[in-house]
Structure 1
Amino acid sequence: MRQPGDCGGAVVAGNPELDRIATEDDLVEIQGYRNKLAVIGEVLSRRHMKVAFFGRTSSGKSSVINAMLWDKVLPSGIGHTTNCFLSVEGTDGDKAYLMTEGSDEKKSVKTVNQLAHALHMDKDLKAGCLVHVFWPKAKCTDVTTELDIWIDKFCLDADVFVLVANSESTLMNTEKHFFHKVNERLSKPNIFILNNRWDASASEPEYMEDVRRQHMERCLHFLVEELKVVSPLEARNRIFFVSAKEVLNSRKHKAQGMPEGAVKTKFEQHTIRAKQILDTVKNILDSVNVAAAEKRVYSMEEREDQIDRLDFIRNQMNLLTLDVKKKIKEVTEEVANKELNKHIEDGMGRNLADRCTNEVNASMLQSQQEIIENLKPLLPAGIQNKLHTLIPCKKFDLSYDLNCHKLCSDFQEDIVFRFSLGWSSLVHRFLGSTNAQRVLMGLSEPVFQLPRSLASTPTAPPNPATPDNTAQEELMITLITGLASLTSRTSMGIIVIGGVIWKTVGWKLISVSLSMYGALYLYERLTWTTRAKERAFKQQFVNYATEKLQMIVSFTSANCSHQVQQEMATTFARLCQQVDVTQKHLEEEIARLSKEIDQLEKIQNNSKFLRNKAVQLESELENFTKQFLHSSNEES
């Protein structure tokens, strides 16, 4: 089943009329109806009638319940009588009893006055506690088993709400506020208003009808205008003027009045309201269905367009795939050797790095440490402590530029199948590639030459061949050349030689030899697969590359040496830079000290001058003393 929340927010591009299948307002409305239906379903699913009595203190709630039960079960009377919550439940037994909260002890129903009466309540029970009163079903009309918990927690979900009002006063805002809360939670609750203690109006019979009309108007206004739960005609059937005590005393034969009507009202009102909600929801869903159908047609048309476009794309892809495959094949054939050279260069570079880099790094680090130790005394103490941060010892990565792309650019593979016991293979095996080529071409005097080096760097001359080896090779070449000349002149020689062999060894041996020869040829032919071609190709390239790489050993070594030299020079330059900084600082310090020395020299000279002047003054004073003072003393 589609959830109400699934219908909102469906956007149809390209069609403004179908911009949204359902609006957000529809979604909110359906969700509200769903909540109300859930509450109604919960109420209707209960197998019992739950009645909530509400009213002010001493309005007669307990008296009304006693009247419905045909007996004075709950405490009632003048003053604040009921001081706790009372839950009246049916029992299958024939005896009534009660149980207090937190206790499994069955107590006599006669003790309810001592337990629940506010005037003489048990000290062990707190105000607001729950007391379960179990009343026999035989004495209880329209009441089934219900183990309800606190009434204040579930009173809003009750099937019937009874407002017990005091006829001696009027409806108060507190009572109205409670039922406004109920109306917000429950869709059109079943509310009855009992104007209790109507017997008090008998003391003033001349005002009885006026008071009755006043209560009726205010109750009708509350049910119809404020709560809007019933029509004015139905509201008159929900307002009663009773005296609970008189009903309790007079009811002897039949349970009458509210219970049967409340049962009918409960199911009837909720059913009608549920139908109204469902009609509204159906209208909304119908509009959603129509919009969805229009969108479906639009989507089907769009799907057909997309299918046509997909078929067109697939056809074009097939054509483009063939074209691209052809181009890829051409490009692959063009760059095959380049990629192979790059692969070889990368692999050899890694091998060289693994074998040489560690040793080179160790040697270079040792040299760097020696340089640092040698220059360290030239630096101040502060720089020596920071030297490891100024010149960090990091791992040096050598770069091996093998340039295999140019080095192996003239490599030509030969992966054509050749039988190992074939004529050309035997000649190549015994004479070598160059001499075998000359023999097969019919030259009578093959010349032995070393292949010309492709590198410009000079190589060491090969060792000269010994005379014995040369003579043996010349003899073998002469025999094979003569045999080749014989077979090339005429095919009759083959027939003659075959006949001679036939007569000499017999046909059986010849057949066995030919069979073995053919089986060997067939085996080698079948095993000449792609993998075998790959192995042959790799072997040819390895042989070719090995010869070529011998030429770049010195170049690679020189390149690595240059890199190491450059790294070492960089380290030394950094150290020299620190030394230069130290020298500059020293020069500045020397200049400062020189200036200070000059100033001190001036001060010293001035002090000497002043001292000499002081000595001079002392001498003058001495002279003055001798001249004038001693002379005065002598005269006296």
Structure 2
Amino acid sequence: MNGEAEPLLRFAEAKKVLGEIYTDLGKHVDELDEVYRGIVEPPGGGAGDSGECMVPDEQVAEIELFRESINTIMETFRRDNMKVVFFGRTSNGKSTTINAMLHAKILPQGMGHTTCCFLQVQGCNEDTGYLLLEDNPTRIPIDQLSKIGHALSSDNSGLPAMGQDSLLRVFYPKGRGETENRLLQNDVVILDSPGVDLSPEFDSWIDKHCLDADVFVLVLNAESTLTQAEKSFFHRVAKKLSKPNVFILNNRWDASAAESEHVEDVKQQHLTRFRQFLVNELEVATDRDVKDRIFFVSSREMLDSRLKARGLIKNPYQMDGHQVRAMEFEMFERQFEQCISRAAIRTKFEAHNRRANEIIARMRANVDVVHAAAAKAKQSLEYSLKRSTQVFNDCRMNFAQFERAYREQTERLRAEVHLKVSADFSEEIMRLEAIVDRFNMPFLDTTQGIIEYKRILRHSVQALAEFTDKCVSSDLEARCTGGLMSRIWNLENDMFQYVTKILAEPYQHKLEEVWRYRAPFKFSICVDAPALTKDFHEDLEFRFTFGLSAIIRRIIAYRSGQPVTAIQANLLTPIALRNAGRSNEDLHNEAM
């Protein structure tokens, strides 16, 4: 863009910067929301009461409000643009002035009442322009503009009826390169209005179309003076808007070329009236500023000059002194661009900037609340940790004392149990013969009976061992139960009472529940007599007690630690004699 477009670029730059501010603000809100949810709902679950105490529900809900506000504001200022409204009496050249500023003949213009409604011109990225009616998304070809918006058209009987306060939006291509339109390219929206002398309903016009305007341009006819209708309109604008930016274009100043003698007197007369109106009546400008708000131009000459520069016409309309009027028009455009850029940034973005500061302040207050709650929770947790640590240390010390005290009693009880069981077991061994006699299994001394007895002897021995084990175990349990159970129960009760005193109040009830439903202690003694008969071998043959084989078997059994019945009976066979030189243990191993 060239240097002339620089004031308009400030609006786009401000919009970009504000967008970055709100984008960063949205990221901070998302980060804060993630932190809060991480405290309230940890990844592992089980947030508990501490997280909710540190981050109250109101603070979490407010974060969502921040996000909604930011999204709404971003959507709003992305649609924001610079808006200028042209007002004036019928046929003062409002549409011609707009066309001259746009370097194209877009709006209908001519003698009489040409504009029948509000026409809003704004840029579009399409190559072909189009029209949109209020509350109707259907696009209308732009070539229908002369019929819809032109009050004098005789061909608009079949088109939608347009009231004076209705709005017809004109979307015109922004263009590229040489055809680029500086105003439309930089988001300037231009609003053309019907003549202020056609309707006294100024308030509805202002409320509906002008409250968001950044600049007002009053287009006057140089051949007439400022009317009361025009004054009344801007007085009402000044009541609804704080110090509106007003430019006055004294159009058709080309008519002064025919009266060059009195042109300066007429110009000073107009300047005096316009200065009094802007400074004294509306109070929207100072004496120093008013010179940059009043211009004497010829919009028709400027439009034809620019159309010729584009090669669209050959013979432009020009009167004597058109160069001065062209310079005045260009000066108006420069002042207008600077003013609308500043005003739009102030009116459109100051509110968003103020809202951003408010959101930041509320976020700071939100974080302060959470910080205070977190500090309070931290203090409470530190106190709880200190108290729990003290309780734990006391409990550990008490348990150490308990362990030392009851280890000695446990050792003494174990020694008592050992002595008691050993003594009772010895008595049971002395009664072993009586126990064996109680084992009832018939024995026949006939040949057939002995053969059958040998066949079932191993099973009989196993049954005898199991019977003996059962009798000895039950007798021992009965003996020990009577003598030691009261001692064990007393020790258990003492331990329970001691541990109850050590534990804190909440855990005492749990210990009582466990103690109440525990399994009662009872003695369980295992003699395992069947294991003693695994190496049993019957010996039912008759032999001399002091025979040679019997003596050898006794010697081998003594040296090997095995029962005599486990040693081979026939040790005087040829095989045994051949191995006579070997040790008794070797003979025994081969005999086995």
Normalised by the length of structure 1, the TM-score is 0.38
Which structure has the larger Rg over C-alpha atoms? Answer: 1
Normalised by the length of structure 2, the TM-score is 0.40
